Amino acid sequence: MCDPDSLKELIEGLNSMSSFSILTHVSPDGDTLGAGLAMYIMLTSMGKKAEVVCEEPVPHIYCYLPHSKDVVLPENAVGYECAIAVDCADMQRFKKAEHIFAAAKHTMVIDHHFTNRGYAEVNLICPEASAACEVVFEVIKAMDRPIDYATSVCLYTGIVTDTGNLTYSNTTPECIRMVAEMYENGLNITEINRNIYRTVPFAKTRLQGHVLSNMKLENGGRIGIATLTVAEMDSYGATNEDCEGIVDNVRDVESVRVAVFIREGRDGTFKVSLRSKECADVGRIAGKYGGGGHAAAAGYTSHEPLSTTIANVLRDVAQELDQ
């Protein structure tokens, strides 16, 4: 699946160097954390120094991941010889950890976003892969390293969260085979799926009920849009983590072809999340505003007022749907 020359170059670097800072992206999800921690487990098992760096603490939903307590904030990172970016389409995704990448003697990228143009010395970018964890699985196999139980938990988490539990259009035969192999080797997928999908804080349930009860249908019902302000979030005692999944619920409405969820940040910007039912390329819309993602799932940050942000995204989505 991955380019053989890029894979070979990355493996040579992993074998020859002795210390690594593994960078994950802002608003960490299961794929960036799973990929980062799987690389951490492999590298430390080889006797190398490694750290996983994230701008934010690991979300509660992913605290079951092996070594999640070892993830460090940028200000506490060592900053090793080689920086490896996982699941990061561009350097802006590091946020406060960007200086670690810039200061590293060597740099690598492991990713699956088609918008990634390759910003490191070594770039292993596999757009056909369902998740960065699928690429990491291939790396570990190519290095002839074991995929033990802890590694399987990390890789499975990334694959299932990025494929909607193996239901989205980006699900590949390869990732299903990977899951099957890990399951055959004893992976408890029931427990992991309970942690991800069936353990919901009360504040999150109340917040999502509020947002969804106020969502609107536009463009003849083809666009579903929901918004959330900081004040509304605070009124429920909720956090950014509790917003995960709202845009998917908007997309699930029968008539909706593209779902939009706009969340206010504490810095006054607005995070715009987009999901499509394969009839519009929302990645193209996100790219227009400096964001990224995939054709069916993407996002960006708007620095405009909420009213302008809403007007812009409704216009852009309508144009995309009409193409």
21 and 166 assigned to the same domain: yes
pLDDT at 2: 86
Give the 3-state secondary structure of residue 85. strand
**Binning pLDDT at 50, 70 and 90, where does residue 312 land?**
very high
pLDDT mean over 181-185? 97
Residues 6+ apart with CB under 8 A from 274: 247, 258, 259, 260, 282, 285, 286, 293, 297, 298, 299, 313, 317
Percent of the chain with pLDDT over 90: 93
* 197, 229, 252 - which closes a domain: 197
Q: Considering the chain, what is the average pLDDT of its residues?
A: 96
Range of the domain at 53: 4-197
Residues of the chain above pLDDT 70, percent: 100
34, 155: one domain:
yes
Residue 151: CATH number of its domain: 3.90.1640.10
User: What pLDDT sits at residue 259?
Assistant: 98
Q: Could you tell me if 165 and 246 lie in one domain?
A: no
Q: Are residues 219 and 316 in the same domain?
A: yes
What is the per-residue pLDDT across 133-162, written as a single tens digit (0 to 9) for each?
999 999 999 999 999 999 999 999 999 999
| CA pair distance 46, 250, nearest whole angstrom | 45
Mean pLDDT to the nearest integer, 198-210: 95
The CA distances from residue 178 to 35, 129, 130, 286, 322, in Å, are: 14, 12, 11, 30, 38
Same domain, 145 and 226: no
Measure Cα distances from 49 to 19, 38, 102, 154 in Å: 4, 14, 19, 19
Residue 53 gets which letter from DSSP?
A: E
Last residue of a domain, one of 166, 197, 228: 197
Length of the chain: 323
Cα torsion through 10, 140, 241, 77, rounded to 10: -50
In a shared domain, residues 190 and 207:
no
Across the range 266-284, mean pLDDT stands at 93
Count of domains forming the chain? 2
- Which pLDDT value is given to residue 278? 76
Q: Are residues 155 and 31 in the same domain?
A: yes
Domain finish residue from 161, 181, 197? 197
The predicted structure's pLDDT at residue 114: 87
- Amino acid at site 7: L
What is d(CA 251, CA 147) in angstroms, rounded to the nearest whole number? 35
Each residue of 218-242: b (16+ CB within 10 Å) or e?
A: bbeebbbbbbbeeebbeebebbebb
Pick left, alpha or beta for residue 144 (phi over 0 → left; psi -120 to 50 → alpha; otherwise beta): left
> Is the confidence at residue 121, as pLDDT, over 80?
yes
Neighbours of 217 (CB within 10 A): 14
91-112 pLDDT, tens digit per residue, is 989 989 999 999 999 999 999 9
Pair (231, 145) in one structural domain: no
Q: Three-state DSSP class for 291?
A: coil
24 and 149 part of one domain: yes
Best CA proximity match to 321, nearest among 218, 222, 244: 222
CATH of the domain at 291: 3.10.310.30
Please state the φ and ψ torsions of residue 111, each to the nearest 5 degrees: -155, 170
Contact 251, 221 (CB under 8 A): no
Residues 122 and 141 in one domain: yes
What pLDDT is stored for residue 109 in this prediction?
98
Q: Strand, helix or coil at 218? A: strand
Query: Are 30 and 168 part of one and the same domain?
Result: yes
Alpha-carbon span 183 to 171, nearest angstrom: 17
At 193, the pLDDT band (50, 70, 90 cuts) reads very high
pLDDT band at 229 (very low <50, low <70, confident <90, very high): very high
Closest CA to 160 of 197, 124, 205, 208: 197
For position 103, what pLDDT does the model report?
97
Residue 207: the pLDDT is 97
Report the candidate in 45, 106, 98 with the shortest Cα–Cα distance to residue 80: 106
Assess whether 112 and 192 both reside in one domain. Answer: yes
Q: CA distances (Å), 307 to each of 226, 303, 304, 311, 312, in order?
A: 13, 11, 8, 6, 9
